[in-house]
Amino acid sequence: MQPHDFEDYRPPQKPEGNGLTFMDYIMIGFTSIGIYSSFVVVSYLNMILCVFAWRMYENYRKGNYE
């Protein structure tokens, strides 16, 4: 029995480790505090600003500057 030719078309594997930096932890902390405080004072504008800032930071991390 002869083995078949195999072409590996899978994408490359992700590097080891979680890849979180100190700035990531700071943004997670500030966003968590912002969302929590928006629930405490019932401020929808604060929540919208926190969500918008989080989305902007995620786009910055991905390199998507649109």
pLDDT tens string 21-32? 898 899 999 999
Question: How far lies 26's CA from each of 15, 31, 45, 50, in Å?
Answer: 23, 8, 22, 14
Give domain status of residue 11, yes or no.
no
pLDDT one-digit tens code per residue, 51-62: 999 999 998 888
Region 14-40: what's the mean pLDDT? 87
This prediction has a pTM of: 0.64
pLDDT of residue 2: 61
Question: How far lies 27's CA from each of 14, 15, 43, 59, in Å?
Answer: 23, 23, 20, 13
User: What average pLDDT does the chain have?
Assistant: 84
Give domain status of residue 58, yes or no.
yes
Region 36-60: what's the mean pLDDT? 92
The number of distinct structural domains making up the chain is 1
Q: Which domain holds residue 39?
A: 22-62
Give domain status of residue 14, yes or no.
no
